[in-house]
A and B are shown apart, each in its own frame.
Chain A
Amino acid sequence: MALDIKPGAFADFFKDETFRDDFTFKNSPAAIRRFPFPFDRDDYMYSVNMEPHTPGKPGSVFENTFDVDEHYVAEMIDRAKVLAEDPLRCQSLPHMTLAGWDLLELIMESNARDYPQWFSLSKSGNQWHWINRPLGIDHRFTFLDESTLPYGPMEYISRQMQGDFSLQDEREGSLWMDAGMVTTQADWSLDFDVGMNFMEWHAPVPLAHEKHVFDRALKFLLKLQHGSPVRRFNWTMTVNPLLDTSPENYPKWGPTKTSLTQENLGHKQHLRVELQALFRLPRSNAIAFSIRAYLGKFEELVTVPKWGRRLHRVVRDIHPDIAAYKGFLRNRHMMVEWLAQHDDGAPTTPGFWPDL
């Protein structure tokens, strides 16, 4: 069977929008309220900041194991376009196929349980029947038999899931990124990094190595147990609602960084938040790393006054090396100037939840 994406189905919830060319993406008021604002205080420095990935507040992005939101169908169309242009964005080294099946099982079982209106999974032994109604997929296949899927198991399921995924093999006291689906990344190349260990693929991150952030994170992750997933946040900045900020396409999107003005900044400048969840997989003992990106326009975020104040203070006071690594050093002064009009200097409450 072929993936048969049907935009327009469920149009009352899933939006018809773009993340390229005319960039029609925007968040509904409800989506802004549930935006995973990553700053729980008025300043920022790297930390391990892991917490158990347990179900959170109803309606929040933590409610379910994997968050499926109003941008789902549009994001899947965008991913298919990225892959058509560059198949190297999805790679799995030969020994990672079993981990791919583990991931497929985890996602299908989670989504069928959490979103019965959209997804269903029925099993008779290894004969599985998967229905993905928003994408128009109705597929019977044999679990653990690659020949019954149109793609490898990781690619098959991650073409149906928002966010990037990497699969990490555990060997020699480290984690090795030996497979991944990466089309919505914050400027790192899966093709280049696949096969690297935990310290190597994080090597370009400034300051954090000196603070032993990665030593502690790795030690923590090696203890990750099946049945006890964890999560953390990461974030960066993106001009235009562009999901595919890959190094591969940097010559195409790099010039947009010079397009900001005080007039268009609130609309064009986006805070890009990654909700990262990590799962120990059962058969392969690999770790699945889901990296779900949320885009929020500055003009959307400042509709929550606490977030407007706090974003201004974080961007104003951040270490320049971090601003450079996250790619917004050159626009930082413009962002601060724009955000200042939304910061009256009032104190903010602890935690990241909106206090409307």
Chain B
Amino acid sequence: MTKTAFPPSIKSRPVYADLVARPGTYHLVIADGEGAGAVVDLLAGAAEPAVMLAVMHVVYAPGPNGTDEAAVLQALGAAQFYRAPTIAAMLPRIARVLLDAHMGTQFYLAGTEGLIGQAEREIMATGFPHTAIQKEHRGSTVRRVQCVHCKGITESVRTDPFACSHCGLNLFVRDHYSRRIAAFQGVNIDAEDPGLVPAAVERFK
């Protein structure tokens, strides 16, 4: 549908693939915005969707661009469905679900990089290997960026450079990405020549 193609980049930049149904005793699906389409496709490609849905928990939030396909996901008929208003609002629920999840659980993340990164961080905190978490990017490419100077995180960054929402420095957006922080790195663009800031370009939509 609207799978995202990213240009080649450095090795710390996350890469994504299509969600594929894998054998599991429980399926935790976390998505936002257009990520709903990836979940629909996941089930369409599953050998036994009914079996999967019977042990599936879907957590969903609208995307940063306003896309809200909660009704589509709810109609799938998973054992549990929850629509959170925002990513931040869904994180405590995910942490609670993980508290008594068991090995054999499959994790499927779909949507924006902010959703994928923050959900992945919750799952990694249990000691589960991040390489086994499936991630498919769909929808908006706006970025979550950490200011390397003040450490504040600016959500939904669209332009490069942009002004840090915490300290106000003009930051350029690197492709260098930290799974631990779930953010790209922002570095002051006019440090050597204060005031010489190039015009902002809308790189992320």
Chain A contact residues, CB within 8 Å of chain B: 88, 172, 189, 191-196, 199-204, 209, 247-251, 254-255, 257-258, 330
B154-193 interface code vs A (CB 8 A; 1 in, 0 out): 0000000000000001000011101111000101100111
**Which of B65-73, B136-144, B145-153 contacts its partner?**
B145-153
Which partner residue on chain B sits nearest A253 by CB separation?
B191
When C-beta atoms are compared, the residue in chain B nearest to A187 turns out to be B187
Contacts of B175 in A (CB 8 A): 203
B2 within 8 A of A: no
CB contacts (< 8 Å) of A248 on chain B: these are 148-149
- Would you call B194 an interface residue if the criterion is a C-beta within 8 Å of the partner chain's C-beta atoms? yes
Chain B, residues 1-29, CB within 8 Å of chain A (1/0): the string is 00000000011110000000000000000
* A196:B178 contact, CB within 8 angstroms: yes
In the bound complex, residues from chain A placing their C-beta under 8 Å from that of B129 are 172
| Cβ-closest chain B residue relative to A91 | B180
Q: Of A251, A255, A258, which contacts B169 at CB under 8 A?
A: A251
7 A–B contacts from the bound complex (CB under 8 Å): A189-B185, A192-B181, A193-B178, A250-B188, A251-B194, A255-B192, A330-B192
Q: B193's contact among A88, A194, A247, A258, by CB below 8 Å, is which?
A: A258
**5 closest residue pairs by CB, A with B:** A254-B191, A203-B12, A195-B180, A203-B10, A200-B12
- Residues of the A chain whose Cβ atoms lie less than 8 Å from the Cβ of B188: 250-251, 254
Complex alpha-carbon distance, A172 and B132, angstroms: 12
6 other A-B residue contacts (CB within 8 Å) besides A191-B148, A255-B193: A195-B180, A200-B11, A200-B12, A203-B10, A204-B176, A250-B148
Q: Which residue of B lies closest to A246 (CB)?
A: B148
A191 contacts across to B, CB distance below 8 A: 148, 151
CB distance from A22 to the nearest CB of B (A): 22
Give the residues in chain A near B181, CB-CB below 8 Å: 192
Question: Which secondary structure dominates chain B's binding surface?
Answer: loop
Task: Determine the residue in chain A with the shortest Cβ distance to B179.
Answer: A195
- Chain A residues near B149 (CB, 8 Å)? 247-251
Question: CA separation between A248 and B171, bound complex, in Å?
Answer: 12
Residue of B nearest to A206 (CB): B10
Shortest distance from the beta carbon of B97 to any chain A beta carbon, whole Å: 22
Q: Which residues of B contact A199 (CB under 8 A)?
A: 11-12
Contact of B192 among A192, A201, A247, A257 (CB under 8 A): A257
Contacting pair A255 B179 (CB below 8 A): no
Q: Which of A199, A200, A255 has the most CB of B within 10 A?
A: A200
- Is the Cβ of B178 less than 8 Å from the Cβ of A258? no
The docked-state distance in angstroms from the alpha carbon of A192 to that of B147 is 10
Number of interface residues of B (CB under 8 A): 25
When chains A and B are docked, how far (Å) is the Cα of A203 from the Cα of B193?
26
Distance, CA A189 to CA B149, complexed state (A) = 10
CA A224 to CA B131, docked complex, whole Å:
25
Known A-B contacts A189-B185, A195-B178; A88 and B11 likewise in contact (beta carbons under 8 Å) = no
Q: Known: A254-B192, A330-B192. Contact between A189 and B148, CB under 8 A?
A: yes
Instruction: Tell whether, in the assembled complex, residue B179 and residue A196 are in contact, meaning their CB atoms are under 8 Å apart.
Output: yes
- Tell me the minimal C-beta distance from B193 to chain A in angstroms: 7
Q: Please give the distance in Å from A103's CB to the nearest CB on chain B.
A: 21
Q: Are A250 and B10 also in contact (CB < 8 A) when A193-B178, A258-B193 are?
A: no
- A172 touching B169 in the complex, CB below 8 Å, given contacts A191-B151, A200-B12, A250-B149: no
Verify A203–B148 contact, CB threshold 8 A.
Answer: no
Interface pair A203/B176, CB less than 8 Å apart: yes
B11 contacts A203, C-beta separation under 8 Å = yes
Task: Give the CA-CA distance A193 to B131 in the complex, in Å.
Answer: 18
| A272 CB to nearest chain B CB (Å) | 17
Contact residues in B for A189 (Cβ distance below 8 Å): 148, 185
Chain B residues with CB below 8 A from A200, complex form? 11-12
Residues of chain A within 8 A of B187, CB atoms compared: 247, 250
Nearest CB in chain A to that of B148: its residue: A247
Complex contact B194–A255 (CB within 8 A): yes
Q: How far is the CA of A258 from the CA of B151 in the complex (A)?
A: 26
* Given A195-B178, A196-B178: A204 and B12 interface contact (C-beta under 8 Å): yes
Residues of A within 8 Å of B178, CB to CB, are 192-193, 195-196
Contact of B191 among A88, A196, A201, A251 (CB under 8 A): A251
Measured CB to CB, the closest approach of chain B to A209, in angstroms, equals: 7
Expressed in whole angstroms, the minimum distance between the Cβ of A41 and any Cβ of chain B is 29
